């Protein structure tokens, strides 16, 4: 196939069998990758195609943000002094009772832009709310489709703190799945907010629905110690064991966190083919703990990297999450080899894709895969001197170094700016809805705008 564009870089990190190519190029055609190799060869094979980039900069597969909550897009920057359960009740739980589908669409557009500008091309989202009957989670698909980001959506149902009929949650799972079926680049998983956050009737009905419909699941597991303790008090089992007992692990599962897991839990997760999403920044801000990444990987569990939601990170800057993933393991283990830059980049690309069961389509630069890729320019401070491209990207690069981003062959970022929408419009559009949400939810006590200085 004739290429529509050739993307060239001083280093092409394919994350695939071709490894790292010095002065390499990737040819894009029909939304897919049609050639990868040394620049001289790719340019010679596609002489008519326009070329983006040169013999400087770095080209990588688009990052896979393995876990976030677009439901938190409008409430960042609050509650930094809370642990997970306090934060759940006082920040996201309150906002989730009042968020609307339009707030979801507008917030998703804003955060999708932030992700794109840090190199993300696929996001695995769990939209959490209890404003039942509004089908607010469908707004996440509307926003992703507006912006053009690839995604997997789920509705993170929980009914312990804010009870509603079980049927209302199942109805939203079905509606979100139907809406995703009509989307161009958005897939679906069934969401289970947390095992502990669901009543037994909702959890059992959700498992039954996922099995009958053949749905994969997105959940959280073993995020904080309180979760393990409360689960043992409730079922005499921790949440991993409870998930196994109730049949939740009978379908493909990606689970956020997997921090408070013992040897038995790791064995269960590996045996059931569960994938993990590691969210180092959120784990640090909520003081949740440190994911045993090496132990999970050693057991054969795919581990991706996520930002987690905009209320527990609080940015959606994937480059920051990748750097934090490496740093947190190093300092926790007191071992600078605990998680290296190449390993962190693999987790953010091909391992994240594998965790989502999408590695046949995305996650590496290989002929036949979809054209999701990022070009980091070499004009700025971040990549001014490149001795080792992996270390340079993980420890030195920032969104200011992101030049161009393609999703499914479509250029959504060009020369460092959004190509199809104005960032200033996204920002201006989000502010009134963020204020409205905070007011409706009665969260002014958490906002300095309502507090006397």
Q: Contact residues for Zn ion (CB under 5 A)?
A: 256, 308
Nearest distance in Å: CB 154, Zn ion: 11
Nearest distance in Å: CB 153, Zn ion: 14
Nearest distance in Å: CB 348, Zn ion: 17
Taking the C-alpha atoms of residue 416 and residue 419, their distance in angstroms, rounded to an integer, is 9
Distances (CA, A) of 251 to 211, 217, 225, 339: 7, 7, 26, 30
Name which of 68 and 349 has its Cβ closer to Zn ion.
68
Name which of 118 and 194 has its Cβ closer to Zn ion.
194
Nearest distance in Å: CB 279, Zn ion: 7
The closest alpha carbon to 395, from 346, 334, 344, 335, belongs to: 344
Name which of 186 and 254 has its Cβ closer to Zn ion.
254
Distances (CA, A) of 261 to 148, 211, 223, 274, 292: 36, 25, 9, 13, 8
How is 201-239 classified by DSSP, letter by letter? Answer: HHHHHHHHHHHHHT--EEEEES-SHHHHHHHHHHHSS-H
Provide the sign of the torsion angle of the four alpha carbons 434, 437, 439, 444, taken in this order: negative
Name which of 124 and 134 has its Cβ closer to Zn ion.
124
Q: Which two tokens stand for residue 244?
A: 């196994």
Name which of 33 and 203 has its Cβ closer to Zn ion.
203
Nearest distance in Å: CB 386, Zn ion: 34
Name which of 308 and 359 has its Cβ closer to Zn ion.
308
Taking the C-alpha atoms of residue 62 and residue 74, their distance in angstroms, rounded to an integer, is 25
Residues in Cβ contact with 188 at an 8 Å cutoff, skipping those fewer than 6 apart: 152, 153, 154, 176, 177, 180, 181, 215
Nearest distance in Å: CB 288, Zn ion: 10
Name which of 46 and 69 has its Cβ closer to Zn ion.
69
Nearest distance in Å: CB 259, Zn ion: 12
Residues β-bridged to residue 59: 12, 375
């Amino acid at each position: 196939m004739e290429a529509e564009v050739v993307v060239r870089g001083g280093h092409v990190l394919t994350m695939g069998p071709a490894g790292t190519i010095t002065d390499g190029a990737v040819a894009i055609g029909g939304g897919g990758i049609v050639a990868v190799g040394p620049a001289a060869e790719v340019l010679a094979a596609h002489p008519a195609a326009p070329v983006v980039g040169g013999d400087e900069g770095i080209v990588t597969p688009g990052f896979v943000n393995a876990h976030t909550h677009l439901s938190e897009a409008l409430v960042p920057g609050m509650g930094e002094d809370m642990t997970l359960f306090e934060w759940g009740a006082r920040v996201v739980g309150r906002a989730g009772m009042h968020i609307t589908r339009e707030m979801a669409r507008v917030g998703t557009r804003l955060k999708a832009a932030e992700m794109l500008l840090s190199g993300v091309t696929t996001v695995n989202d769990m939209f959490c709310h209890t404003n039942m009957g509004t089908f607010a989670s469908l707004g996440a698909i509307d926003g992703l489709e507006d912006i053009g980001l690839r995604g997997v959506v789920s509705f993170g149902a929980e009914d312990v703190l804010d009870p509603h009929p079980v049927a209302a949650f199942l109805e939203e799972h079905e509606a979100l799945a139907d809406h995703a079926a009509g989307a161009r680049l958005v897939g679906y998983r069934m969401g289970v907010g947390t095992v502990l956050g669901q009543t037994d009737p909702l959890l059992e009905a959700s498992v039954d629905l996922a099995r009958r419909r053949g749905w994969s699941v997105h959940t959280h597991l073993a995020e904080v110690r309180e979760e393990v303790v409360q689960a043992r008090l409730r079922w005499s089992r921790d949440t991993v064991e409870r998930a196994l007992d109730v049949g939740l692990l009978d379908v493909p599962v990606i689970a956020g966190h997997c921090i408070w897991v013992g040897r038995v839990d790791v064995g269960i997760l590996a045996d059931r083919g569960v994938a993990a999403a590691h969210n180092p920044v959120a784990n640090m801000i909520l003081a949740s703990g440190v994911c045993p990444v090496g132990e999970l990987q050693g057991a054969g569990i795919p581990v991706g990297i996520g930002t987690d939601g905009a209320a527990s990170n609080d940015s959606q800057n994937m480059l920051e999450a990748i750097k934090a993933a490496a740093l947190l393991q190093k300092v926790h283990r007191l071992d600078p080899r605990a998680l290296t830059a190449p390993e962190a980049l693999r987790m953010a690309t091909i391992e994240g894709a594998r965790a989502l069961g999408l590695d046949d389509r995305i996650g590496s630069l290989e002929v036949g895969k979809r054209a999701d890729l990022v070009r980091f320019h070499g004009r700025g401070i971040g990549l001014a001197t490149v001795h080792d491209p992996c270390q340079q990207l993980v420890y030195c690069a920032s969104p200011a170094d992101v030049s161009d981003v393609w999703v499914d062959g479509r250029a959504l970022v060009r020369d460092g700016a959004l190509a199809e929408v104005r960032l200033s419009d996204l920002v201006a559009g989000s502010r009134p809805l963020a204020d409205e949400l905070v007011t409706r939810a009665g969260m002014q006590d958490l906002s300095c705008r309502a507090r006397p200085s």
